[in-house]
Amino acid sequence: MSPTPDERERIRAGIHRLLNDQAQHSNGALTIVALAQEAQVPRNALTQRHTDLKNEFYELVKARGATPDVEVRLRAEITKLKKTIANKNKELALIKEDVPALVRAVSLLTAENAELRELLKLPAANVVPLRPDEH
């Protein structure tokens, strides 16, 4: 699909609206997805046909001092994942602390089981057949 003549102008107008908090067709986020919605062009228009405008948009966002929404979301996700890892590491440490005690318990139970099995052995029974074997 070839770009329409006014596609670049719509993208530039979308950039202007987003950077001035005047979004009309998007949620106003400083992302390529929002820019595509704001300019009413397919996303691939920015990622494939007009990469210069995409890069310009990112530079303007950066120069503005605003952190792009994508970066904010990714940083939040990283923080959440770091907390999850820390919690899992604590849980793993507790499990590792329990292993020696569990090994001792299994050893003790194995020894007791062997002892009980030995106690349950009955003396050899003197079984006398009622009928002699017929050979």
**pLDDT for the residue numbered 117:** 84
73 φ, ψ (degrees, to nearest 5): -65, -40
Q: How far apart are CA 11 and CA 55, in angstroms?
A: 12
Q: How far apart are CA 58 and CA 117, in angstroms?
A: 76
The single-letter DSSP state of residue 2 is: P
Q: How far apart are CA 46 and CA 70, in angstroms?
A: 16
Token pair in block for residue 13: 């107008």
Tens digit of pLDDT at every position of the chain (135 positions): 555 668 999 999 999 998 888 889 988 888 889 999 999 999 998 889 999 999 999 888 888 876 777 777 888 999 999 999 999 999 999 999 999 999 999 999 999 998 888 888 766 667 676 776 666
